[in-house]
């Protein structure tokens, strides 16, 4: 690991490795099961055929996709194949490097590269496959980034397989308070409005918010403009029960994104003791007894061939 404790590392390391699970092993187990289904879809769409030389996972994070690729490619015929972990975070790359040392004789070889999606440190036409999971959603210039992917891919055989959430699909800026809190808060709408408005104050205008200022059509258009000869985008709209391992304390304490405070932190900052108690009396039974509203989500799976 890099110097310093986990608390001293960058926000993404904190969130990916610690804050999003918050010591709740059952919640972590359910969340990882959910994420692995996305990983499997990305790798299926990558159409690995045993001939790849360079597999690049952009924004590798905790290694979910890259280690999945390593497992699928371990028996492939190309003995010079490499799985490349690329991330802006040194500490996340070191985390993945440490995991790789516990894999006996890992094949293909693992390469760890610090860099950004916008400026890939690779030659033109040098990469066989590029994957992402929730990377473009945090980048303002998605069109330019997809062009950069195109630049580094091999002619005729290079391809991308991406998973990107479409946060804007169901976003109404918190107008529907019940959906915003994933439970019925009509009895405490005054308190719920305070919390929502605080989170609103942290957000940039929608046109400048990389998570909200695009849709699935923008992504497929970016593939066309970049020059891909074929592209397929699958839009998945999901309505499902909340994770049953998510109790009230986790509901309050898990921050929604890196660099965004948890609801517990926000409540402590802006609510009175009486308001916190009122909120708990209404919301805790719904979360702990799994009576909350269903979870809405939208995500895209993108495959494109150079």
pLDDT tens digits, 171-190: 888 899 999 999 999 999 99
Residue 27: band (very low, low, confident or very high) from pLDDT cuts 50, 70, 90: confident
User: From CA 255, how far away is CA 266, in angstroms rounded?
Assistant: 10
Instruction: Provide, rounded to the nearest whole percent, the portion of the chain with pLDDT above 90.
Output: 73
pLDDT tens-digit series, residues 227-251: 999 999 999 999 888 888 888 999 9
- Among 72-86, 89-103, 154-168, 246-260, the range scoring the smallest mean pLDDT is 72-86
Residue showing tokens 């610090």 = 114
Residue 8: band (very low, low, confident or very high) from pLDDT cuts 50, 70, 90: very low
Residue 160: band (very low, low, confident or very high) from pLDDT cuts 50, 70, 90: very high
**Residue 32: C-alpha distances to residues 29, 134, 148 (Å):** 5, 15, 30
Mean of pLDDT values over 57-81: 90
pLDDT of 132 reads: 98
Strands (DSSP E) contained in the chain are 54-58, 82-87, 109-114, 129-133, 159-165, 230-240, 295-305
pLDDT tens-digit series, residues 127-157: 999 999 999 999 999 999 999 999 999 999 9
Largest Cα–Cα separation, the chain: 66
Q: Domain ranges for the chain, please list them.
A: 1-166+214-244+296-306, 169-208+245-289
Quick check: helix, strand or coil at residue 299?
A: strand
The CATH number of the domain covering residues in 1-166+214-244+296-306: 3.40.50.150
pLDDT of 7 reads: 42
| Residue 39: HSE in the Cβ half-sphere, 13 Å Cα cutoff | 20
pLDDT of 76 reads: 73
User: From CA 135, how far away is CA 66, in angstroms rounded?
Assistant: 14
């Amino acid at each position: 690991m890099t110097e310093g404790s986990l608390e001293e590392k960058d926000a993404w390391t904190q969130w990916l490795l610690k804050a999003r699970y918050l010591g709740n092993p059952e919640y972590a187990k359910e969340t990882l099961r959910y994420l692995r289904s996305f990983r499997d879809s990305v790798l299926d769409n990558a159409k690995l055929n045993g001939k790849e030389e360079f597999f690049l996972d952009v924004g590798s994070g905790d290694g979910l996709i890259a280690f999945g690729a390593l497992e699928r490619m371990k028996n492939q015929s190309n003995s010079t194949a490499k799985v490349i972990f690329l991330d802006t975070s040194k500490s996340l790359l070191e985390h993945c490097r440490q995991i790789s040392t516990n894999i006996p004789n890992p094949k293909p070889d693992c390469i760890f590269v610090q860099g950004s999606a916008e400026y890939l440190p690779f030659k033109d036409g040098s990469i066989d496959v590029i994957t992402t999971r929730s990377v473009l959603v945090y980048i303002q210039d998605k069109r330019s980034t997809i062009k950069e992917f195109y630049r580094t891919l091999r002619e005729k055989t290079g391809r991308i397989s991406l998973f990107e959430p479409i946060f804007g699909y169901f976003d109404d800026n918190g107008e529907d308070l019940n959906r915003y809190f994933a439970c019925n808060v009509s009895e405490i709408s005054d308190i719920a409005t305070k919390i929502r408005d605080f989170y609103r104050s942290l957000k940039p205008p929608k046109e400048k918010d990389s998570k909200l200022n695009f849709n699935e059509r923008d992504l497929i258009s970016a593939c066309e403009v970049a020059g891909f000869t074929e592209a397929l985008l699958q839009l998945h709209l999901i309505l499902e029960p909340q994770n049953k391992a998510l109790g009230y304390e986790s509901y309050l304490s898990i921050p929604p994104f890196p660099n965004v405070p948890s609801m517990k932190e926000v409540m402590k900052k802006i609510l009175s003791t009486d308001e916190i108690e009122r909120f708990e009396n209404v919301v805790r039974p719904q979360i702990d007894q799994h009576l909350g509203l269903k979870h809405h989500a939208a995500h895209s799976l993108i495959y494109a061939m150079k």
